[in-house]
Amino acid sequence: MSKIALAFVLAVVAARTHAQTVYQCAGPNGSMTYSQTPCGGNAKLIMSSGPKPKHDESTGGDAGMAAPKAIAKPLPDANIQAISDSVADSNCRRDAEHLFISPSTARIEQANAQIAQLSRREYVNGYGQAYVGQAAIANQQVEQQIVSLQQLIATEQASNNAIIADSNRHVADAMAECDKKKADREKVATP
């Protein structure tokens, strides 16, 4: 393309707001010319820009223009929809399972370890003391500590059981919601 033709194209593009149309034509010597009117039998329309219609706020569309037709969305492929529904159901169920809270058993394990240690001490005190009276007192104190630890274990287990029951209820509610969503999707998919 010659420099003159390129300059003309740039001028046309710059003045686009003023020009209605631009045609490209091949000249007799093979040069390209550009014009706002068809310049021969081989004229090729390369740009068309009419004045933009004003937006009509009352109709929600352009003045003098018909309302655009709604473009129909193609129906999704049944297999793709089935896969999408399956993924949605799997995600819902996974999220529901994450609602389960596993309670800590650290205090119970620690209390059991202390009971085991105290039981060994009771045995040693019972047979290793020179005086039977002192051994009986020491064993009684160890037994009281063991009973106290057993009560702590029972309280912790009851608390953990309540946490587990509450978690199971939340999971069951969330799973029921997943089942409802799945049933709703199946109703929509079935004509």
**24 falls within a domain:** yes
**58 falls within a domain:** no
Residue 44: domain span: 3-51
Asked if 179 and 103 sit in the same domain, the reply is: yes
Asked if 94 and 175 sit in the same domain, the reply is: yes
Asked if 43 and 95 sit in the same domain, the reply is: no
**133 falls within a domain:** yes
Asked if 98 and 184 sit in the same domain, the reply is: yes
Higher pLDDT, 39 or 67: 39
Asked if 97 and 173 sit in the same domain, the reply is: yes
Higher pLDDT, 165 or 18: 165
Asked if 20 and 82 sit in the same domain, the reply is: no
**59 falls within a domain:** no
What tens digit of pLDDT does each residue of 96-121 get? 999 999 999 999 999 999 999 888 77
**130 falls within a domain:** yes
| Pairwise CA distance, residues 189 & 78, whole Å | 9
**73 falls within a domain:** no
Q: 62 CB contacts (<8 Å, ≥6 apart)?
A: 53, 54, 55, 56
Asked if 178 and 95 sit in the same domain, the reply is: yes
Asked if 42 and 83 sit in the same domain, the reply is: no
Compute the CA torsion angle 35, 36, 37, 39 (nearest 10 deg).
10
In this prediction, residue 14 carries a pLDDT of 54
Q: 45 CB contacts (<8 Å, ≥6 apart)?
A: 21, 22, 23
pTM over 0.75: no
Asked if 43 and 83 sit in the same domain, the reply is: no
What tens digit of pLDDT does each residue of 48-93 get? 655 544 444 444 444 444 444 555 555 557 777 788 888 889 999 9
Q: What's the domain count of the chain?
A: 2
